[in-house]
Amino acid sequence: MSSIDLALMGIKNLLRRKARTILTVLGVVIGTAAIVVMVSLGLGMNKAFEQQLEEYGSLTMIDIYNNMMYEGMRGDSTGFGDTSTDQVYLDDETINMIESMDHVEFAIGFKRFDSKIYAGKYENYSNVKAVDLSKLALMNIKLSQGVMPSVEGQYEALFGFQVAQNFYDPQSRNPYGNPPQINIFEDKIELLPSSQYYEGRRPRGYILKPTGVTSETDWTYAWDIFMDYETFEKLKADFDRKNKTDDGNGSTGGNSRKPKSNEKVNKYDEMKVSVDNVKNVQEVQDQIKAMGFEAYSLTDALENMKKTSAMIQAILGGIGAVSLFIAAIGITNTMVMSIYERTKEIGVMKVIGAQLKDIKRLFLFEAAMLGFFGGLLGIAFSYGVSFIINSVISGMTGDSGYYGPQILSYIPAWLALLGLGFSTIIGLVAGYYPAVRATKLSALEAIRTE
Amino acid sequence: MSNPKEIIIEIKDLRKVYKIGTEKVVALNKIDLNIHKGEICCVLGTSGSGKSTLLNMMAGLEKPSRGTIQIKGEAIEKMSEKKLAKFRQKNIGFIFQSYNLMTALTALENVAMPLIFRGTPRNLREKIALKHLAMVGLKDRYKHRPTQMSGGQQQRVGIARAFVGAPEIIFADEPTGNLDTKTSIEIMHIMWKMAREKNQTIVIVTHDPEVALYADKVIHIRDGDIQSIENREEDDVMEKYIKPYEATYVKI
């Protein structure tokens, strides 16, 4: 018996008993939809985690800080020269070392300076992060406006998107009550590389040229101003010379002393290392820690979140599996009933030349079809449910939400296909017992009249 | 016709005992029987005589308690279910008392059914099925469903279905049992003509002596034993029954 004939016959048989077929399929629809929706909630949760983490920062970035314990010890000791054997520094040499590691794409150092910027009568305490601009370009910082700054331009800078919001009027009684609208591209932005408070007239600053603003989706650099390291160093030296403000507040990180000629210093407060793949982050992070630095990445958090969500997914999937199991019993029941009803027909088929395997295949096919169509409709239904869940949730928290509309239920193509395959296999398994039973039916009993 | 000596069904020392509770009921006592190729054979007996049991065992639907049944030299009582199914598909056609057509299918689909199991392609099997429907005089009704046909017509579809695969042997279990006399004659006539045409062997089980008139060999069976075997000349049947019938009803 050819497969096409078998399929046609099977489908005809199913259509002959519409009501029962529909009810059985409905059971599978509910079972499949239960599993798919449950798993989709788990996946949605995973996705939300990842989205959230990405807003905290890139998953392939490792943040490095100098080991603060050494700093403290050195602060107390008088002869710091001899403690420096174990001391590690965030300098260009370290960058070169880290960049020579496997899986490392690049390493970038930042030096933070507490500074002030002015726009007309408004002022703004901000961090200037001095950085190698060519490397900053590698970080693929998303911009909402403008372009990345270049070394060639005069005092070019990249602004975090929150910086413009932090201006206030120091003369006002309620300086933060009514934030001014500053357009950093239009208004004249003046930088003072010092956070010192000036009574009366402040010294002259340096006119910045903002070239771009970071994207609102990434809060990592929201309050920073990026400038070229060398340019800023010169600018600051120039300022210090003119104003003789050796206030020791030029930088944070406790390293404000003038370095001796051959003394190693922390050129940077902070470094970021970009790793080629999330999988390798842990390995690189461990190597950096072994060098004596503090290193942080989001992989630890991600691991934990993934573990939690896997557990939740298993529980949700289990709940769905129960309903699919009940649907499987429904298929078996339908097929067994069908055998009782078709006893005579099966007997006649056997007598007029049906092979045992034909009968077996016919019943298996019918059961598999119940599973398949149930699965197909179940997945269509799941997409509907998923859509409703997502639109209701985003309707509730959507625009007010910090991270934009959250995905609660997510059905990727593989889940849909898996659900379909699974329900079909469930149909086959559920149909196996009835199919074997049909082949064992005595033809004689079946055709006996009266 | 062909070599009348060629034995197609050979039954030796056949016995069948049913156990009903603790009681044993002997359905067939001791049957020895040869059926030749191309013979139209009739097993005649009252109900309870064991004639249906004999047919069922010949068709491999029941296992004998003792003895052998050889069809085309193969002992069918020793065959597995799987092998039997294959053997039936290849060699045996079956006509039922209550027609046993698939009510959901048209006449054409019903007739084509055995060919479906053989894996004959759709176009070919419909052509063959239509030819057989024409042979039983139902060419115009190929699209009708069993419920739209009379008993006689349904049995004609059943006959077409039995012959469609050109089996060497056709078993008929009371083929006229549900039909009136006139229709019965019609049915017997069709079966006779079709079997003769291709030298097919028919074994008919019946209690109706009129049906037996068409047989080359009539086996009278009673209480599980063969009482007598009556052989007729082939031409006798032709002269006595077929020709007069055709004279009366020129067209079926």
CB atoms A355 and B85 under 8 Å: yes
pLDDT of residue B166 exceeding 90: yes
Predicted confidence at residue B4, as pLDDT, reads 52
What is the chain B residue with the closest CA to A450? B98
CB-closest option in A1, A348, A449 to B119: A1
Query: How confident is the model over B103-112, as a mean pLDDT?
Result: 92
Q: Give the whole-angstrom CA distance, residue A95 versus residue A135.
A: 11
Q: How far is CA A389 from the centre of its chain?
A: 20
Q: Give the whole-angstrom CA distance, residue A292 versus residue A12.
A: 74
Interior/surface letters A399-426, b for 16+ CB within 10 angstroms, e for the rest: eeeeeeebbbbbbeeebbebbbebbbeb
Enumerate chain A positions whose Cβ falls within 8 A of a Cβ in B: 1-2, 5, 9, 12-13, 16, 344-345, 348-356, 358, 442-444, 447, 449
| Max Cα–Cα distance, chain A, nearest Å | 119
User: What string of DSSP letters covers A57-89?
Assistant: --TTEEEEE--HHHHHHHHH-S-TTGGGGT---
pLDDT of residue A174 exceeding 50: yes
Interior/surface letters B54-89, b for 16+ CB within 10 angstroms, e for the rest: bbbbbbbbbebbebebbbbeeebbebeeeebbebbb
Q: Give the whole-angstrom CA distance, residue A59 versus residue A182.
A: 33
B183-216, pLDDT tens digit by residue? 888 899 899 889 988 899 999 999 988 888 888 8
Q: What is the DSSP letter of B59?
A: T
Q: Give the whole-angstrom CA distance, residue A413 versus residue A313.
A: 17
* CATH no., domain B39-60+79-248: 3.40.50.300
What mean pLDDT value characterizes chain A?
81
- The single-letter code of the amino acid at A248 is G
The residue among A19, A29, A21, A23 whose CA lies nearest residue A324 is: A29
- pTM value > 0.80: no
| Parallel/antiparallel/unpaired status of strands A294-297 and A61-65 | antiparallel
Predicted confidence at residue A135, as pLDDT, reads 82
Cα angle, residue B45 at apex, residues B41 and B49 outer, rounded to 5°: 120
Q: Give the whole-angstrom CA distance, residue A202 versus residue A34.
A: 68
pLDDT of residue A450 exceeding 70: no
User: What string of DSSP letters covers A384-398?
Assistant: HHHHHHHHHHHHHHT
Interface test with A, best of B18, B117, B145 (most A CBs within 10 A): B117
The residue among B94, B56, B111 whose CA lies nearest residue B171 is: B94
Beta strands in B140-224 (DSSP E): 169-173, 201-206, 217-222
- Residue given tokens 């793949």 in the structure block: A277
CB A438 within 8 A of CB A360: yes
Can you name the residues that pair with A115 across neighbouring β-strands?
A: A126
CB atoms A352 and B94 under 8 Å: yes
Q: How many CB atoms lie within 10 A of CB A333?
A: 15
**So what's the ipTM on this one?**
0.88
pLDDT of residue A379 exceeding 90: yes
Beta strands in chain B (DSSP E): 7-20, 23-36, 40-44, 66-71, 74-75, 92-95, 169-173, 201-206, 217-222, 225-231
- The single-letter code of the amino acid at B35 is I
pLDDT of residue A252 exceeding 50: no
CB-closest option in A13, A350, A449 to B97: A449
- Cβ neighbours of A16 in B, within 8 Å: 104
**φ, ψ of residue B55 in degrees (nearest 5):** -65, -45
Q: How far is CA A245 from the centre of its chain?
A: 46
pLDDT of residue A340 exceeding 60: yes
CB B91 within 8 A of CB B69: no
Determine the straight-line distance between the first and last CA of chain B, rounded to whole angstroms: 25
Q: Give the whole-angstrom CA distance, residue A133 versus residue A150.
A: 7
pLDDT of residue A82 exceeding 60: no
Q: HSE-up of B210 (CA within 13 Å, CB side)?
A: 14
- The single-letter code of the amino acid at B231 is N
Could you give the 3-state DSSP secondary structure of residue A366?
helix
Predicted confidence at residue A257, as pLDDT, reads 46
Predicted confidence at residue A143, as pLDDT, reads 84
Predicted confidence at residue A101, as pLDDT, reads 87
pLDDT of residue A51 exceeding 90: no
Q: pLDDT band for A401, please (50, 70, 90 cuts).
A: very low
What is the chain A residue with the closest CA to B102? A345
Q: pLDDT band for A66, please (50, 70, 90 cuts).
A: confident
Q: Give the whole-angstrom CA distance, residue A377 versus residue A219.
A: 42
CB-closest option in B86, B161, B162 to A355: B86
- The single-letter code of the amino acid at A243 is N
- Cβ neighbours of A351 in B, within 8 Å: 59, 61, 88, 94
Report the share of chain B in percent with pLDDT over 70.
94
Report the share of chain A in percent with pLDDT over 70.
86
> Mind telling me how many Å the CA of A6 is from chain B's nearest CA?
9
Q: pLDDT band for A406, please (50, 70, 90 cuts).
A: low
Q: Give the whole-angstrom CA distance, residue A276 versus residue B179.
A: 86
A10-45, pLDDT tens digit by residue? 999 899 889 989 999 999 999 999 989 988 888 888
Lowest-pLDDT choice from A398-402, B5-9, B240-244: A398-402
Q: Give the whole-angstrom CA distance, residue A67 versus residue A290.
A: 12
A183-195, pLDDT tens digit by residue? 888 888 888 888 7
Tokens for A297? 């990445």
CB-closest option in A13, A358, A449 to B117: A358
Could you give the 3-state DSSP secondary structure of residue A433?
helix
**φ, ψ of residue A395 in degrees (nearest 5):** -65, -30
Can you name the residues that pair with A209 across neighbouring β-strands?
A: A156
Tokens for A237? 């030296």
pLDDT of residue A127 exceeding 80: yes
Q: Give the whole-angstrom CA distance, residue B50 versus residue B57.
A: 11
- The single-letter code of the amino acid at A391 is S
CB-closest option in A9, A351, A356 to B94: A351
Which value, in Å, is the radius of gyration of the alpha carbons in chain B? 18
Q: How far is CA A54 from the centre of its chain?
A: 5
Q: Give the whole-angstrom CA distance, residue A408 versus residue A393.
A: 7
CB A268 within 8 A of CB A109: yes
